[in-house]
Amino acid sequence: MESPKPSIVYRYKNGLYVNLTNRCPTACVFCVKNTWKMDYRGSNLNLGGADPSPAEVIALAKEEWAAAPFEEFVFCGYGEPTMRLEAMLTCARMIKNGRAAPLPRALKVRLNTNGLANAVWGRNVVPELKGLIDSVHVSLNTADPAQWLALMRPLEPWASDGYEKVKEFIREASLLLPEIFVTAVEDKDIDTEKFKALAERLGAETRIRPRLEAPGD
Ligand code: SF4
């Protein structure tokens, strides 16, 4: 059977989610994009290399808003949104400066990320997010660098100092952005107390989320 048209935006709970790219600097063991065959609860998130422009994203978001308003605009798809940093910031800027009306300027804009943006771009990008991204959720998963490598499986050249770069990203975000969570996928081998303590030291709140197993979880 032919896959449905790729979804650039899709709904989940009270948010509109934006699938900006399928590129990712990690191959996390818990990622469901392969087992779910690029489907996410009925949306085909396989962009086939055709990453959308900010204008396309905002046009689709306006259509969705007209159909039913949403509470959050979330960069989160089968790929790492910050691989398209400029496109992501352009979308957010259009919302925040009123060029995406009827989307309200006050609409909460969230980034779900693996936190490797500073490593990928070779600079501290967090100041560029200020005033545009209201909330960041970083999938850090562990306080143990070796376990991070095993869980996140970063691609070269981001493996060697990736973990430290992610912690740096979180620390910077905690200083400059309104809301920062570090998340972990539930796993009996993760020391949750150490993870929470690390999050606190980095200035972030903690969220433990269930592992997705089958579509519909
Ligand atoms: S960061 Fe997200 S898209 Fe990339 S491999 Fe991990 S879970 Fe999958």
The residue with greater pLDDT, 41 or 100, is 100
Q: Is 26 touching ligand 1 by the criterion CB < 6 Å?
A: yes
35 band by pLDDT with thresholds 50, 70 and 90: confident
What are the DSSP E strand ranges found in 67-215?
72-75, 108-113, 135-139, 179-185, 205-209
Closest ligand 1 atom to Cα of 113: 1
Q: Which atom number of ligand 1 is nearest to the Cα of residue 153? A: 5
Angle between helices 192-202 and 162-176 (to 10 degrees): 50
Q: Can you give the pTM of this predicted structure?
A: 0.95
Whether residue 162 has its Cβ less than 6 Å from ligand 1: no
Query: pLDDT band at 216, cuts 50/70/90?
Result: very low
CB 185 within 8 A of CB 30: yes
Contacts of 35 (CB under 8 A, 6+ apart): none
Atom of ligand 1 nearest to the CA of 114: 1
- CA neighbor of 169 nearest in space, from 142, 136, 206: 136
Q: pLDDT at position 81, please?
A: 98
Q: Is the CB of 115 under 6 A from ligand 1?
A: no
Query: Per-residue pLDDT averaged across 208-213, rounded?
Result: 80
Task: Show Cβ contacts of residue 48 under 8 Å, excluding neighbours closer than 6 positions.
Answer: 6
88 pocket-lining for ligand 1 (C-beta < 6 Å): no
Pocket test for ligand 1, best of 17, 21, 33 (most atoms within 8 A of CB): 33
Ligand 1 and 24: CB distance under 6 A: yes
- With a 6 Å cutoff on the Cβ, whether 154 touches ligand 1 is no
Distance set, CA 167 to CA 120, 123, 210 (Å): 14, 14, 22
Residue 20 pLDDT grade (very low, low, confident, very high; cuts 50, 70, 90): very high
Q: What would the pLDDT profile of 173-201 be if each residue is shown by its tens digit? A: 999 999 999 999 888 899 999 999 999 99
Cα 139 to middle of ligand 1, angstroms: 9
Q: What residue's CA is closest to ligand 1, atom 5?
A: 27
Query: Greater confidence, 38 or 183?
Result: 183
Whether the predicted pLDDT of 212 surpasses 80: no
Nearest residue by C-alpha to atom 6 in ligand 1: 28
pLDDT at residue 191, rounded to an integer: 94
Ordered structural domains, the chain, with CATH? 9-209 (3.20.20.70)
CA atoms within 13 A on the CB side of 201: 9
